[in-house]
Structure 1
């Protein structure tokens, strides 16, 4: 039984609509100045303290913006500020200060190669960049890469908590630098009251620009408007009764759009963002207990590790009231285990690509009903969020019947603006289907359309349907059989080796990561699969791993597994 609705809210979540992200934070800071806004490295920062940091940095950004030269005038210079930082105090204050100064933010990680950071800076044309210590350490290499690209834009770099070395300043005289010792003096010309005004931006303005992997090898920038994320927040605040007493996990990097739920789900209602360190993030069991987490959010791959090492025991998380999964297919066994581990929690699977603002459908797990509604042992993705429209179409863009399979298209107030300065790609992905007047986003995901008998289910990417020996094969079906027969919560099947003519592959290779003390007989497993699947779908071999490689978003890194095969 959930206690989600047992506590009244202090405000109407509908008031979130029409407010910018910065305004939502400032409202919470005014209403809850003494409450903790962030727990980081074992210390808590109050809303009043965070607001002071944010306001000072925002004033410094505003003060220096007029020094960027003639190309910085409104309408020419894009309203974006980059944040080259990772899950640190400067990262959080940088994001909020960028927004409070009237800009959208562009998150970048210091763990990225310098060439990628330089590419993102050049493409976004962000003229101001906020840095943490690791960002400062990477900066010389990034600026050298920008020079090599012929990028001549002068930029302003702000390190609100750190020192910028004199040799770095001397090596790059085209740019300006403000570090911790200079921040107050830099901000002095701008009154604090001005931040309240600049935080009130147009709902159509870009809230954040996220660069995601592109099929061409060049990252594509997804533009998400203030009104898009405001709508998402209004929905989840209402749906989950988010409130000031909530303590949220922050397991995602800020370059992953799921981080927006952690950051602004918390900061919109006066809750606390709890930031585990690298070790705690990998196995957050003890951190959840010690930090008294009430709202847990992760990709399934990250949660699988808890079950793999037998930390997901019944009743272990009595204070969790909300458990959310997103980003990958959610195995039914994992949902069931988490529901038992957090008996007072609502457990939901939410779905949505970045282009539809984080998540736009939801399915609530019910131990009695849900197992029968799963497909390929994956939890359904359920019903669309309010005002979001669903179409499931065939290859000719004709809508399929209830219960049919096709590509998912979605429209509504969470549909993003498109791709940054890429009208051709935007037109291909955001289009008006036949018989419609509204623009829909093509997700590239294959789903089974909801019917009276069952909710909408996720079947994999349209490009996960491959040809093996001339037969069309859903890799997700093979992965479901592997998980079921091996008794595991994760499996990967890849089509390999490829045919010489480039049309499909000759066979399938499987990857599994059983617990350290498990004795998995792969020959017996393949024999069982042979009795369940056509011969061309049975993996040629099974590779056992100590653990699946994960990408920066915490998802299983299929590219790394493919590279292992191609090596």
Structure 2
């Protein structure tokens, strides 16, 4: 079996720097060689136990090294993995296991499944002994599948192939240009594709990753300073959080020389705050939907140029070499503004077991395959600027959220008319009807959707305000949300 390029880069670093630390956490260190050996044991286990079926491994996030052992071990075995957020409700986890027909579930928690999915944890891997009976199965072209929100409450799996990931990692490794042993953060959840930017960039460059503890997640600024992090991967929301906890200061940002942002719009005032603490930092502001393998644009921002790259919101820059951005409006390609269409090597093959949804979002125009993003942007002097969404989807704290999914479950609870949107960086649900116990509603939603999707505020109305066109008056709802 020929490994993908990103695995070959990792193996090269194992050979060159076997005793260098790859992961460091509060009470644990693991070298490149030790990590590799664990990955091989994981690979051997799933190869032996999968029978003649390609290994498909769901990984329930624990924010520990075994998450990453499971990821690399699965790729080495020729299978693909499915990362799952630690806050995902059990019912939704079971749905995902069923949809992707997983034969393994990596978790430190005990789980029960109706299928023949086998639970695997670090203890099982350490005690495993290979019996040398090789079993043949098809090697998967896929690297991972990420599940995102669906409008009907059914999770939607985005397929990312090993070739997609190769194309992206080839670019980011050269762009970020990490030094051997450079200290990298790993705040981002493995269920969020931006985590590729710290984990894979680091292991393919010989870097050193620091896994945050629960305490570190509460006080990330302290963790950055304590571990002398020089390469930080972040969402803009994390910077706001660090600022609100008084962690955005010269001491904590002293060693940072590069920050990669992705997942939501980056604002000029956030950039100003960063440069106030360390004017030498280089910021890489990136953009890309999950369907296009992490990100497809990059804007390099410095203290000298940031004002020229801002209209209040920072530019997302230009397309990276493996991708191309086009703008379309009124069914015609435009030069200045329109919906972003993306083509190139990083485009997903589509959604798992969802041919109709794939056909709707992935289109072919003049023999070129594009992904329709639903994002509206303009092009000013060769740089792209994100403006707004064309549908009911938002990016919130780095997560992609389909607002209709929240409405779907509110209707399942018993409400006939609901509307959910983002106001002043908070998710607010408006409900037509009598006021009801909010804690009971939240408790119901916790069993259906992730914690970060649960609205911060619920507003009950006798009836929805309408505009002259008979549509919901968003401006009036915004005023109600602010009252």
**TM-score normalised by the shorter chain: which range applies?**
0.7 to 0.9
Change (3 A) 1:116 1:557: closer
Q: Report the secondary structure of 1:456's partner residue.
A: strand
Is 1:397 equivalent to 2:331 in the alignment? yes
Question: What aligned pairs does 1:275-354 form with structure 2 within 5 A after superposition?
Answer: 275-314=211-250, 316-354=252-290
Contact kept, 8 Å, 1:58 with 1:98, in 2: the verdict is yes
Give the equivalent residue in structure 2 for 1:524. none
Change (3 A) 1:268 1:368: closer
Aligned equivalent of 2:343, options 379, 396, 411: 411
Give the equivalent residue in structure 2 for 1:127. 103
Give the equivalent residue in structure 1 for 2:13. 28
- 1:391-428 deviation line (CA, Å, top 9, x unaligned): 1111x3212232xx311001001111211111111111
Is 1:462 equivalent to 2:447 in the alignment? no
Structure 1 residue 316: deviation in Å?
4.4
- 1:313-357 deviation line (CA, Å, top 9, x unaligned): 346423212111111111111112213323332112111111110
Structure 1 residue 297: deviation in Å?
0.8
Question: What aligned pairs does 1:209-220 form with structure 2 within 5 A after superposition?
Answer: 209-220=145-156
Change (3 A) 1:211 1:509: closer
Change (3 A) 1:18 1:84: closer
Contact kept, 8 Å, 2:168 with 2:322, in 1: the verdict is no
Contact kept, 8 Å, 1:313 with 1:341, in 2: the verdict is yes
Change (3 A) 1:558 1:381: farther
TM-score by length of 1: 0.68
Give the equivalent residue in structure 1 for 2:120. 158
Query: Distance in 2 between the 1:128 and 1:512 partners?
Result: 38
Structure 1 residue 49: deviation in Å?
0.9
Give the equivalent residue in structure 2 for 1:523. none
Is 1:560 equivalent to 2:455 in the alignment? yes
Q: Report the secondary structure of 1:313's partner residue.
A: coil
Query: Distance in 2 between the 1:50 and 1:128 partners?
Result: 20
Is 1:511 equivalent to 2:434 in the alignment? no
Give the equivalent residue in structure 2 for 1:374. 310
Is 1:245 equivalent to 2:245 in the alignment? no
Aligned equivalent of 1:438, options 365, 368, 381: 368
Q: Report the secondary structure of 2:178's partner residue.
A: coil
Query: Distance in 1 between the 2:287 and 2:269 partners?
Result: 18
Q: Report the secondary structure of 1:317's partner residue.
A: coil
- 1:474-515 deviation line (CA, Å, top 9, x unaligned): x99xxxxxxxxxxxxxxxxx9xxxxxx98999xx994379xx
Q: After alignment, is 288-297 or 20-29 more displaced?
A: 20-29
Is 1:223 equivalent to 2:153 in the alignment? no
Q: Report the secondary structure of 1:334's partner residue.
A: helix
The total of aligned residue pairs comes to 422
Contact kept, 8 Å, 1:283 with 1:305, in 2: the verdict is no
Q: Report the secondary structure of 1:157's partner residue.
A: strand
Query: Distance in 2 between the 1:378 and 1:105 partners?
Result: 35
Contact kept, 8 Å, 1:60 with 1:190, in 2: the verdict is no
Contact kept, 8 Å, 2:81 with 2:145, in 1: the verdict is yes
Give the equivalent residue in structure 1 for 2:73. 97
Question: What aligned pairs does 1:3-14 form with structure 2 within 5 A after superposition?
Answer: none
Question: What aligned pairs does 1:346-365 form with structure 2 within 5 A after superposition?
Answer: 346-365=282-301
Change (3 A) 1:401 1:85: closer
Query: Distance in 1 between the 2:181 and 2:126 partners?
Result: 35
Change (3 A) 1:181 1:100: closer
Is 1:384 equivalent to 2:297 in the alignment? no
Is 1:19 equivalent to 2:7 in the alignment? no
Contact kept, 8 Å, 1:319 with 1:344, in 2: the verdict is no
Is 1:59 equivalent to 2:44 in the alignment? yes
Contact kept, 8 Å, 2:41 with 2:125, in 1: the verdict is no
Query: Distance in 2 between the 1:115 and 1:54 partners?
Result: 29
Q: Report the secondary structure of 1:243's partner residue.
A: coil
Query: Distance in 2 between the 1:131 and 1:315 partners?
Result: 37
Structure 1 residue 458: deviation in Å?
0.7
- 1:115-171 deviation line (CA, Å, top 9, x unaligned): 111111000001122222xx22xx03xx2xx3xxxxxx423222223xxxxxxxxxx
Q: Report the secondary structure of 1:564's partner residue.
A: strand
Structure with more of its chain in strand, by fraction: 2
Contact kept, 8 Å, 2:186 with 2:210, in 1: the verdict is yes
Change (3 A) 1:89 1:240: closer
Contact kept, 8 Å, 2:87 with 2:451, in 1: the verdict is no
Structure 1 residue 245: deviation in Å?
2.3
Structure number with bigger Rg: 1
